Amino acid sequence: MQSLYTHIQPSNWNFLWDALTSFALRLCAAAAILWIGWWIARRVGNWFARQDGIDATLRPIVRDSSLWGVRLVAIVGALSQVGVQTASIVAVLGAAGLAIGLALQGTLQNIAAGIMLLLLRPFKVGDSIDGGSGASVAGTVEEVNLFTTRLTKPDGICEYVPNSALWSNSIRNYNRNPTRRLDLEVEVSMSDDVNRAIEVLRALAAAEPHVLDTPAPQVMVSRFDDSTAVLNIRLWSTIDTFWDMRWSLSRKVRQALNDAQCALPLRTRELHIVQTQPAQTTPAAPSAQQNAQQTGPQAAQQTAQPATAGQTAQRGA
């Protein structure tokens, strides 16, 4: 008992006090490293986000990569301050990365697709695109990340599309080329003057300010339907004025054809209903089997009738 009392004397607790003091100092240093690292990471990320020399498509990736790179260095430095070995940290991160990679194979596909989109650059921020599935994936590109691509749809809805969904299908970019062609079909009745309608549409295309002179506008007969001739109008414009040209011409074509006495045809269909008299049917004669099955007085009467007829013939003779 005396020996135990000697060991728990306050004078023998100096080593514990020194250890707690040293650990508290290391813990404060680790917290300071984390705080400074987070502050530096935020400043570095904001600096990259403000750089106009970096392409707008690559800017979010560069910002996030630099942000988390500085934070990772700060985390490793803070753990080393509290006594965790760097080799152990690397081993744990490697094992965790392998486990996460096996569990999130679909997510890794999005990362790989995001890297390919950033390297090959089939589109950039501000381009209007649609994927292989057409209207289901369509909109204006707002941001490209490692996992998803943020689009703004024509109706103003924000949509996040996985990068693998874009990379695994064909991508149509409506802003890559400076010009775009409009194909507009107009139906004219066969009873009207088709050549006059073509001349009117050519004059209308030449007067449209958004139509380019080269390539030259074209108006031609593409096919003939039931009692109508289908005219195809092919016009070129810049991508900035394409929709203005389309809406303007769609409004002017009808009025121009009406003024030229070439009204748009109204589809009609004639139906002829032929009424016939139903055929009259005669009752079928009874079969031999039915006659054989008849019994009783009716059968006896039928058998007696030939005999009576024979007797009447004999009496007449």
pLDDT surpassing 50 at residue 312: no
What residue has token string 């600096």?
A: 47
Looking at residue 154, the DSSP 8-state letter turns out to be T
SS3 111: helix
Q: What three-state secondary structure class fits 172? A: strand
CA–centroid distance for 305 within its chain: 90
Average pLDDT over residues 216-236: 88
Q: Distance between CA 33 and CA 27 in Å, rounded?
A: 10
The pair of structure tokens assigned to 161 is: 């599309």
Q: List the structure tokens of 107.
A: 């997510």
Q: What is the pLDDT of residues 142-201, one digit of tens each?
A: 988 888 899 999 888 999 998 888 888 888 999 999 999 999 988 888 778 888 888 999
H or E element: which one contains 189? strand 179-189
pLDDT greater at residue 24 or residue 238: 238
Q: Is the preceding omega at residue 60 within 30 degrees of 0, hence cis?
A: no
Does residue 28 register a pLDDT over 70?
A: yes
pLDDT at position 73 is 85
Residue 178 has a pLDDT of: 92
Q: Is 174 exposed, middle or buried (0-12, 13-18, 19+ CB in 10 A)?
A: middle
Q: How would residue 3 be classed by pLDDT, with cut points 50, 70 and 90? A: low
Please, what sign has the CA dihedral across residues 309, 312, 314, 317? Answer: negative
| Contact status, residue 38 vs residue 71, Cβ threshold 8 Å | yes
pLDDT (tens digit per residue) in 247-283: 988 888 888 888 887 767 776 677 778 777 765 666 6
State the angle between helix axes of 14-49 and 59-81 in degrees (0 to 180), rounded to the nearest 10. Answer: 170
Asked if pLDDT for residue 300 goes beyond 50, the answer is no
Residue 6 has pLDDT above 60, yes or no: no
Which domains does the chain show, CATH number per domain?
13-103 (1.10.287.1260), 122-173 (2.30.30.60), 179-259 (3.30.70.100)
Residue 147 CB: number of other CB atoms within 10 A? 13
Check: CB of residue 81 under 8 Å from CB of residue 33. Answer: yes
**Confidence band for 41, pLDDT divided at 50, 70 and 90:** confident
